[in-house]
Amino acid sequence: MKKNDMLDTNQLTLSKQVFEQFKSLMFKESGVTLGEEKQAMVKARLAKRLRQLQLSSFEQYLQLVKSPDNRQEIQHLIDALTTNETSFFREAQHFEFLSRQLASFSVTVPIRIWSAACSTGEEAYSLAMTVAENRCHPDWQILASDINTQVLASAGLGMYDISRACSIPRRYLIKYCLKGVRSQAGQLLFSEPLKQHIRFVLLNLDGELPEIGRFHFIFLRNVLIYFNEIKRKQIINKMIGKLVPGGYLFIGHSESLRGMTDLLRPVQATIYQKC
Ligand SMILES: C[S@@+](CC[C@H](N)C(=O)[O-])C[C@H]1O[C@@H](n2cnc3c(N)ncnc32)[C@H](O)[C@@H]1O
């Protein structure tokens, strides 16, 4: 952060009352619950948007976001307040499990996988490399979705700072990635043949799901933590509806489905199979 930015942010005050209104808006629009401890985070993230719009108070920004004809700004709010931390092959045991399942997959079926909160795309590309390596059918698709338009735009590029590549096995780097040159030096780019299997779409897990078909594997990782108990249950039920019988659901290491449904049976820590 530049010195000037720091000064600006420090001069702004986010009152508890205005914070509560941002919280309710975020809940209404995305289902995400922002805890009381998130006030400093909200202030820091929205301050950037205030500077871009040259507004001088959070009250002004709240008015703008709430104006009925300004859906665009709601999207900016969602983009600013979602947390997008991710990495390649995060929770490696999930990709090992997937490889084993793919090895025993019927060759007549095109595999469909959903990365249901894909953030900047590392999860989707990790899935794509895993399927490409263990492919049992030439036709396979990955749907990668998120509620945040900025992370989706970046995911679609398939271009990452080389420093993020350390968790990608070397043989995959050689096979599926290109090294950026000139203006793209220091970047890795996923190859077109791999990218063409992935479709990135904007999708709110808290809304009615569009017609996206059913999947053999759904990765719903590190997103349930942002919802309350009721929303979590609703989202899990929607995921069950989108799994083929016998399909698998993966959640994050700090998440649990305990007591939530009888329609999924645990097969390994954080991996469930539709009964
Ligand atoms: C911490 S990231 C998880 C990324 C990846 N799944 C992983 O485990 O590395 C959480 C993602 O969930 C997305 N998200 C939050 N609320 C959402 C919603 N209502 N619908 C869809 N995605 C949502 C955020 O935008 C963010 O990119």
Asked if pLDDT for residue 263 goes beyond 70, the answer is: yes
Output the domain CATH number for residue 197.
3.40.50.150
Would you state the pLDDT for residue 3? 45
Spatial separation of the C-alpha atoms in residues 188 and 181, rounded to whole Å: 9
Mean pLDDT over 140-144 rounds to: 97
The reply to whether 100 sits in an annotated binding site is no
Task: Give mean pLDDT, residues 39-44.
Answer: 97
123 and 205 co-located in one domain: yes
Considering the chain, what percentage of its residues have pLDDT values greater than 70? 96
Instruction: Answer yes or no: do 106 and 65 share one domain.
Output: no
Residues acting as catalytic residues: 45, 146
- pLDDT digit string (tens) for 20-38? 999 999 999 999 999 999 9
pLDDT digit string, tens, across residues 99-113: 999 988 877 889 999
Shared-domain flag, residues 56 and 107: no
Domain endpoint, select from 53, 81, 109: 81
Supply 91's token pair.
């929770």
Task: Name the band, by pLDDT with cuts 50, 70 and 90, for residue 8.
Answer: low
Q: What is the mean pLDDT of residues 118-135?
A: 96
Same domain, 147 and 209: yes
In a domain, 46, yes or no: yes
> Is the confidence at residue 5, as pLDDT, over 70?
no
Choosing from 81, 113, 137, the residue where a domain stops is 81
Domain edge (last residue) among 32, 48, 81: 81
Contact 107, 137 (CB under 8 A): yes
DSSP symbols for 192-219? HHHHTTEEEEE--TTS---S---EEEEE
Residue nearest to atom 7 of ligand 1 (CA): 86
Segments of the chain assigned E as strands: 111-115, 140-146, 159-161, 177-179, 187-190, 198-202, 215-220, 243-251, 264-268, 271-274
Count how many Cα atoms sit within 13 Å of the Cα of residue 274 in the half-sphere of its side chain.
19
Question: Does 73 lie in the same domain as 27?
Answer: yes
**Over the stretch 155-198, which tens digit does the pLDDT of each residue have?**
999 999 999 999 999 999 999 999 999 999 999 999 999 999 99
pLDDT given for residue 105 in this prediction: 82
Does residue 142 register a pLDDT over 60?
Answer: yes
Distances (CA, A) of 53 to 26, 103, 136: 20, 52, 51
> Which is nearest to 29 in space by CA: 92, 89, 83, 71?
71
- Closest C-alpha to 219, from 82, 75, 32, 89: 89
Average pLDDT of 130-159? Answer: 94
- Whether the per-residue pLDDT at 1 is higher than 90: the answer is no
Looking at the structure, do residues 63 and 153 belong to the same domain, yes or no?
Answer: no
More confident residue, 16 or 138: 16
Q: Is the pLDDT of residue 133 over 90?
A: yes
Q: Does 133 share its domain with 230?
A: yes
Q: Are residues 137 and 257 in the same domain?
A: yes
Percentage above 90 pLDDT, the chain = 90
Mean pLDDT score of the chain, rounded to an integer?
Answer: 95
What pLDDT was estimated at residue 7?
42
* Surface-to-core class of residue 247, CB atoms within 10 Å of its CB (0-12 exposed, 13-18 middle, 19+ buried): buried
Compute, in angstroms, the gap from residue 234 CA to the centroid of ligand 1.
16
Quote the domain boundaries for residue 9.
3-81
pLDDT value, residue 137 = 74
Is residue 70 assigned to a domain? yes
Which residues line ligand 1 at a C-beta cut-off of 6 Å? 30-32, 82-86, 90, 117, 119, 123, 146-148, 151, 204-206, 221-223, 226, 252
In-domain check, residue 115: yes
What's the pLDDT band for 211 if we cut at 50, 70, 90?
very high
Residue identifier of the C-alpha nearest atom 2 of ligand 1: 84
Residues 104 and 64 in one domain: no
Domain total in the chain = 2
In this model, does residue 251 exceed pLDDT 50? yes
